[in-house]
A and B are shown apart, each in its own frame.
Chain A
Amino acid sequence: MIEVKGFSFTYPTASRPALADVAFEVAPRELCAVVGGGGAGKSTLAGVVSGTVPHLTGGTAHGVVRVNGRDLAETPLSGLVGEVGLVMQNPFNQISGARFSVREEIAFGLENLGVPREEMAARIDPVLDDLGLTGVRDRSPYELSGGQQQLLAIGSILVMRPTVMVLDEPTSQLDAAGNALVFEALGTLREQGVTVLLIEHRMERLAGAADRVLVLDRGTIVAQGTPGEVLADERLEEWGVAPLRYTVAARHAAARGLWPDRQPLPVTLDAAAEGFGETTDRLARGDRR
């Protein structure tokens, strides 16, 4: 469980806070997505919840951040290893650079924690399987595609069996295929009961994946709710977030009476297809209300 209460943070050389009076909770096993424009404080928030901010960055922090009941201000980063995992934007930078195969790379964290060899083998193989990396297990991490490298980064954390995972724009540098692989991996995390905080700017898949969405704007949470409530909010663009095209199309259609009355604005492609299909059927029947 993640609890953030009245949290503000300013980087050492900054004049204004990167996060200001942020408060939210993520329940166990919940997948909470965070969206926002550039400079909204999303990566800082990811760092805060994973413990790297301010432990590694320095800076001034006020307020409380608790993960599984542990106050992060009083917990050294080493105390969170294995409990909270962080996956960052650039998969290349998450490769240790010190291991020569995918299997060894996944073992890196377990080795650091002193996990016995037999237990390591028993934990690594299912993770490779779950993430579809078994076929490349003996290849160098540097030989993988961007999507596979990001899966490797996820697997390297997943093998440590964290209860909370923070993913900071894990698809930002990936193509459509890589994007799909990462969202499939998110499904695996959910099946395993991991609490997930997902920072993401591509929203096409968010609605189907997230339980809840937070919107950050200039360091402040300006909206939170279900994906349907938040992603269909008219103010999304004001907060620096590009709304989904089919949501905008449905809004325009609704203004002209061409969207089904009782149907909320769509935030998934399936919902949009259903709504426009209903309208098309109605028009085909000659009903032009």
Chain B
Amino acid sequence: MNAVRDTAHATGASGIHRLNPLTKLAFAVTVTVCAFAVVDYRWPLLLFGALLLPAAIGAGVSRRFLLLLATFWVPAAVVLFLIQGFFLPGAHDVIARLGPLELKREGVSFALQTALHILVLMSGFFLLLLTTHAGAFMSALSERKVSPSLVYIVSASLQIVPALNRRATRILHAQQARGQVIHGLRGRARALVPLMGPLILGAFTDVGERAAAMETRGFGATRRPTSLTEVPDSGAQRFLRAAMLLCAVAAVTVNVWGVLR
């Protein structure tokens, strides 16, 4: 299958690409749960350095993986450090001063821990997104007898942003063709109001037509749906998923008992 621009999926033939999407989902969930289980910044760093980054390199998607992290994780981490570092309630150990603002050790430590948790969470799911065709993911869910309505909602949600983006662009072009000038921040803010009306109302109007189209294509049929895309699976992968699930449960348990704090 070719890469589809509406999703992050990158074509590839690595072992990770060939894994069942549910195995990759189980991996993403397990590393995330494990990262949160231990209150020590080295632990999520180890998960990232020993598992997630090598997996991205092995899958041949390291460039896009790092780019996604730079786009989403870095800004989140910067905001966390600024807010927690300067304003964490109850923190008192000042390590630097910036005018009236005081940077506190407890805040920086908390921000570091949280940012690394988020790094693991994002990395796990970016790896899933980059190495899994969305269609295969949906097929894997269908094969596990997940409700067709739920599968539809999940897959439609994955495409709703690009679809709305296209609609918004068309509306903006139409408004600009009728003389609307969009310059600078204020102009963009002013353009937002006349954009939102047709964008949202248009989307609502389309719902009825789309519902009719779906009905005539058997979406409401009572038969058990099948799937065009064949999703590979094996006994070994099923075992791996069960093992990861146990790992996640164990991580939650040791966290609840406070064993590794």
Which residues of A does B touch, CB under 8 Å? 47, 50-52, 56, 77-78, 80-82, 84-86, 88, 90, 92-94, 96-101, 103-104, 107-117, 120-121, 124, 138-140, 142-143, 153, 156-157, 160
Contact = CB atoms under 8 A, between A and B. Distances in A.
Contact of B155 (A56, A98, A101, A157): A98
19 contacts: A52-B212, A56-B212, A82-B218, A86-B216, A88-B209, A94-B210, A96-B152, A96-B214, A96-B219, A100-B7, A100-B133, A100-B135, A100-B155, A104-B228, A109-B218, A112-B148, A112-B221, A113-B225, A142-B159
A116 B135 CA distance: 17
A106 to B, nearest CB: 9
Interface stretch (B32-40, B114-122, B160-168): B160-168
Nearest to A112: B218
Given A100-B134, A140-B6, A156-B217, A116 B212 contact: no
Contacts of A108: 217
Interface in B204-246: 206, 208-230
Contacts of B230: 117
Contacts of A117: 226-228, 230
B260 interface: no
B144 interface: no
B222 A78 contact: yes
The interface centre, meaning the residue of A81, A100, A139 with most chain B CB atoms within 10 A of its CB, is: A100
Contact of A113 (B1, B2, B151, B223): B223
Q: Which 8 A-B pairs have the closest CB atoms?
A: A112-B218, A109-B217, A107-B228, A114-B223, A98-B155, A138-B2, A81-B218, A93-B209
B5 interface: yes
Interface in B127-172: 133-135, 138, 142, 148, 151-152, 155-156, 159-160, 162-163, 166
A115 B227 CA distance: 8
B4 interface: yes
A96 B206 CA distance: 12
Given A98-B138, A100-B7, A113 B214 contact: no
A88 B205 CA distance: 14
Interface string B182-202: 000000000000000000000
B217 A157 contact: yes
Interface residues of B, number: 45
Contacts of B219: 96, 112
A111 B135 contact: no
Contacts of B212: 47, 52, 56, 86, 88
Contacts of A82: 218
A120 B223 contact: no
The interface centre, meaning the residue of B133, B214, B228 with most chain A CB atoms within 10 A of its CB, is: B228
A107 B1 CA distance: 15
B163 A157 contact: no
A92 B162 CA distance: 13
Contacts of B166: 142
Nearest to A52: B212
A80 B215 CA distance: 10
A154 to B, nearest CB: 12
Contacts of A92: 206
Contacts of B152: 96, 98
A56 B135 contact: no
A50 B216 CA distance: 8
B134 to A, nearest CB: 5
B216 A157 contact: yes
Given A100-B134, A120-B228, A142-B162, A88 B213 contact: yes
B216 A84 contact: yes
Given A107-B228, A112-B218, A112-B219, A99 B162 contact: no
B10 to A, nearest CB: 14
